[in-house]
Structure 1
Amino acid sequence: MPRRGISAAAAFLGNRSRVGFKRSSNSVLMALQITVCAVGAYAFAEQVLGHDGPLFAATSSMIALGFSSDPRLRRVLEVGLGCTLGIALGDVLLALLGTGIWQAAIVLFVSILLARFLDSGTIFTTQLGLQSLLVVLLPAPEGGPFTRSADAVVGGVFALIITMLVPRDPRRAPKSEVQDLLEELAAVLREDADALSRSDSTLAWHALVRARNTQPPLDSLAKSLRAAQEVALISPAQRRHRDELGSLERSIEAIDLAVRNSRVFSRRLTSVINHAALSDEAISSLSSALEDTADAVTVLARGLAGSHPAERRLNLRSARNDLAAVATQLHPARLNVSRLEGEGLILLFRPLVVDLLQASGLSHDEAAGYLPRL
């Protein structure tokens, strides 16, 4: 037992070390940007503006630049406005209540409630509460309490300058995440096909759980896309990518719907399998359609994540053709489906394929046009 425990601990530490080293190596460039930004903002506020110990210039630049995928303009505004409003609120309450521990508690409580009333941002709430608390507990710096607010603005501006000047492809993160998401959707469809061919409702339930677990990646993808669009907007060197990011946004909206429809489909598939609602011929044809759809989703992932325009267009066209071929078969009669519950399953699969066709670049009417009339 001791040896087994030591081996397990060594394996755990080894794995954490590998993951940590990879995470650190991938963060070298960002760490360098944050360092230059924070030190530069501090030096500017101290040497040019004459502020004494402008820590908020450095800290606000770090918060605004940061490792978060949230849009930076929002973070800059949250830091600057939160700092300014916090100081103003702290001064007002200081004049009314005076200084002391219980006054500080009241100021912090009111500040947090006011921040949550004005905005849902975590950074905004933190900055407003912190600044109002510092006004009550600490003496004002030379130049007055709003010196801190000016320092926060300096840090935010430096973060925006770094964002504008550093050559970083804003498409990289959302493209990587959309590829991972589509590969997971393809895995869900393959699990559905496997569950159907084996008539195993437990496997269908596993596919449903897997589909539900795609919600956090979907949320992260939306944040990454907004951040990428913001970089393309404020950076002159990246503005040429705005059209491509706009097209990617439309595809992501359709993928979101497709993922949601995959959950509904997987849940209904569990019931269909339990009730043996499909004949052997229907099982064979529908599982084949699911496999073909999964293969097309994999090609679609390569198309949306591709870096070369020609390769991207080729993969999107291939995925579109494969999905269109599946769509033309989605009629109960063509899939040998005769019972009502099986027909309902086909009706749930049709909008999923339409969503994927839209993700490949078609309009809704063009995508729906491939479906046979019922």
Structure 2
Amino acid sequence: MEHQSTSGSAWTRTKVSTRQGWTRTRSFAARRARSGAARVRSSLVPAAITALCAVLAYVFAELVLGHEGPLFAATAALIALGFNRDPKVRKVIEVAVGCTLGILIGDLMQAVLGQGYWQAVLVVFTSILVARFIDSGATFTLQMSLQSVLVVLLPAAEGGPFTRSQDAIVGGLIALLVTLLSPRNLQKDAATGLRDLYATLTTSLRDCSEALRSHESRTAWMGLVACRNTQPALDDLRKDVRNAQEVATFSPIKRRSKAGLAETAHTVEKSDLAVRSMRVVARRVISVIDSGTLGEDGTTQLADWFDEAADAVGILGRSLGEPSAAGRHKSLSVARDALGGAAARLDPAELGAGTLHSEALVMLLRPMMVDLIEATGASHDDAVGYLPRL
């Protein structure tokens, strides 16, 4: 009986373990399917642009230049354009030049040395050295060597020794043209990223308010962790803005966006500083709560202030969603007034901060509010002018 009971228990555990394994597998497969579907949706436009660019380069080289089977035009366009959410102009130029130089070196050496295996080794060796001399990037070296070895190993082009070099130039130029003329809203992604950032900052301010009211420092820890997790998004946001400014500099149809992108870049920098300050503030809130150095009246006033600041930051985040520049500037003015109203209360005596820890907390809030007010487009002197004199 005991043996049967043990066997039955083992069989039950095996069934439960198998069922749990299948559940985890289905959950994993569902997550992968959802993430894959999201990637497909976000890749529809880049995929269409990339496909159009490659075929357009091939058709141009074949019909306009009269080249037979200009595969290097399509491959150069694909490699130069890449598959990035927001291609960088400099990167497209760099890769296009690398492809063209690699093919040119292969054509030249093939014309002088002929075609064969030892020639291929010499061509790749020479391409790598030339690439390292021109640029330190690994991508540039890879493209040059790859294109040169293809040239020397594939059958010679029917149109002459430098036909494939011309095809590569066509592919690179078309990739650059598509990058500059693509109908992309350069400020949309930055505005979306900033709204997400301000949503996190608003949540962190509310967490600090709740932590003060409940005397529970773990709630402030949640706000601190949320702010820390914004750094990768901030780094990506800064890169997106730089790429957009680069496109606006070279693209004839995007130059009107330069002024708006300069404002966005300024907003990103000031927002980054404000979030960094918020991390320090959250740690100070934790210290104030754990030390118990703030009285009940001061706790209530500081909690109210954090709620007021959260409301103002929320207005700032919503203002970035305005489609027109005039509407955005008007909303930013409203946000500036709301942030300035909160900043005007940052006097330790007014907020009931009578101890060293609580005074330090109020003083840490002042530079954060200056950065946020500057993020609305105000000058540094105007932002500092909202603060009360001490």
TM-score normalised over the length of structure 2: 0.81
Matching of residue 302 in structure 1 with residue 302 in structure 2: no
Q: How far did residue 127 of structure 1 move?
A: 1.9
* 1:99 is aligned to 2:118: yes
Q: Distance in 1 between matches of 2:305 and 2:142?
A: 52
Q: Give a deviation string over 1:11-39, Cα, whole Å, max 9, x none.
A: 43334334433432343233222111111
- CA offset at residue 253 of structure 1? 1.6
Residue 373 of structure 2: aligned partner = 357
Q: Residue 50 of structure 2 contacts residue 78 of structure 2 at CA under 8 Å; is this kept in 1?
A: yes
Q: Which residue of 1 aligns with 2:11?
A: none
Report whether the alignment pairs 1:203 with 2:219. yes
Residue number in structure 1 paired with 2:19: 3
Aligned partners of 1:60 and 1:152 also within 8 Å: yes
Q: Give, in angstroms, the shift of residue 277 of structure 1.
A: 2.9
Q: Does 1:252 align with 2:268?
A: yes
Cα distance in 2 for residues equivalent to 1:335 and 1:131: 68
CA drift of 1:205 comes to 3.0
Offset of residue 255 of structure 1: 0.8
How many angstroms does 1:328 deviate by? Answer: 0.4
- Pick closer, same or farther for the CA change 1:268–1:140 going to 2, 3 Å: farther
* 8 Å Cα contact 1:84-1:146 kept in structure 2: no
Instruction: Indicate yes or no: 2:149 matched with 1:130.
Output: no
Cα offset, 1:358, TM superposition:
0.6
User: Are the aligned partners of 1:187 and 1:294 in contact in 2 as well (CA < 8 Å)?
Assistant: yes
Which residue of the partner structure matches residue 262 of structure 1? 278
Instruction: Tell me if the contact between 1:86 and 1:127 (Cα under 8 Å) persists in the aligned partners.
Output: yes
Q: Does 1:155 align with 2:171?
A: yes
Letter aligned with residue 356 of structure 1: L
Query: How far apart, in 2, do the equivalents of 1:102 and 1:248 lie?
Result: 50
Secondary structure (helix, strand or coil) at the match of 1:305 reads: coil
- The match for 2:64 is 48
SS at match of 1:16: helix
RMSD of equivalent CA atoms: 3.3
Q: Which runs of 5+ in 2 are unaligned?
A: 1-15
Give 1:129 deviation, angstroms. Answer: 4.7
State which drifts further: 215-224 or 225-234: 225-234
Structure-2 change in CA distance of 1:104 and 1:89 (3 Å):
closer
Q: Distance in 2 between matches of 1:99 and 1:227?
A: 42
Separation in 1, partners of 2:234, 2:149? 37
* Compared CA separation, residues 313 and 54, structure 1 to 2 (3 A): same
Query: Is 2:76 aligned against 1:60?
Result: yes
For the pair 1:222 / 2:238, whether they are aligned, the reply is yes
Q: Name 1:285's counterpart in structure 2.
A: 301
| Post-superposition CA distance 1:49-82 (Å, at most 9, x none) | 4555444432332344344245431122221232
Shift of 1:327: 0.4
Closer/same/farther in 2, CA of residues 5 and 214 from structure 1, 3 Å limit: same
Letter of the 2:43 partner, please give it. Answer: S
Identify if the C-alpha distance between structure 1 residues 370 and 109 changes in structure 2 by more than 3 Å, giving closer, same or farther.
Answer: same
Residue of structure 1 in register with 2:8 after alignment: none
Structure 1 pair 240–180 and aligned structure 2 pair: CA distance change class (3 A): same
1:222-246 CA distance string (max 9 Å, x none): 2221232234344444333322222
Cα shift at 1:184: 1.7
**Distance between the aligned counterparts of 1:208 and 1:312, measured in 2?**
30
Report the Cα distance in structure 2 between the residues aligned to 1:287 and 1:111, rounded to whole angstroms.
Answer: 64
Partner of 2:13: none
Name the residue aligned to 2:30: 14
Could you tell me how far 1:247 is from its partner in structure 2? Answer: 1.5
Change (3 A) 1:157 1:107: closer
Query: Does the CA-based 8 Å contact 2:50-2:83 persist in structure 1?
Result: no
Letter in 2 for 1:48: V
Task: Specify whether residues 14 and 139 from structure 1 end up closer, same or farther in structure 2 by C-alpha distance, changes over 3 A only.
Answer: closer
- Distance change (3 Å), C-alpha of 1:105 and 1:146: closer
Aligned equivalents of 1:216 and 1:184: distance in 2?
13
Partner secondary structure for residue 254 of structure 2:
helix
Distance 1:149 1:219 in 2: 38
1:300 partner amino acid? L
Pick which of 180-189 and 20-29 moved more: 20-29
1:247 is paired with a residue whose SS is: helix
Q: Which residue of 2 aligns with 1:315?
A: 331
Highest Rg: 1 or 2? 2
2:290 matched to 1:271?
A: no
TM-score w.r.t. the length of structure 1 is 0.84
Alpha carbons of structure 1 residues 215 and 147: separation in structure 2 relative to 1, 3 Å: farther
Secondary structure of the corresponding residue to residue 320 of structure 2: helix
Compared CA separation, residues 285 and 29, structure 1 to 2 (3 A): same
User: How far apart, in 2, do the equivalents of 1:88 and 1:361 lie?
Assistant: 50
Q: Which moved more, 1:287-296 or 1:354-363?
A: 287-296
CA-CA distance at 1:111 after TM superposition: 7.1
Contact conserved, 1:37 with 1:62, CA < 8 A, in 2? yes
57-66 or 313-322: bigger deviation: 57-66
- More displaced stretch, 223-232 vs 61-70: 61-70
1:270 deviates by 2.8
Separation in structure 1 between the aligned mates of residue 50 and residue 187 of structure 2, nearest angstrom: 20
The CA distance in 2 between the partners of 1:112 and 1:272, in whole Å, is 58
Deviates most, 14-23 or 238-247: 14-23
Aligned residues: 367
Consecutive unaligned residues in structure 1, runs of 5 or more: none
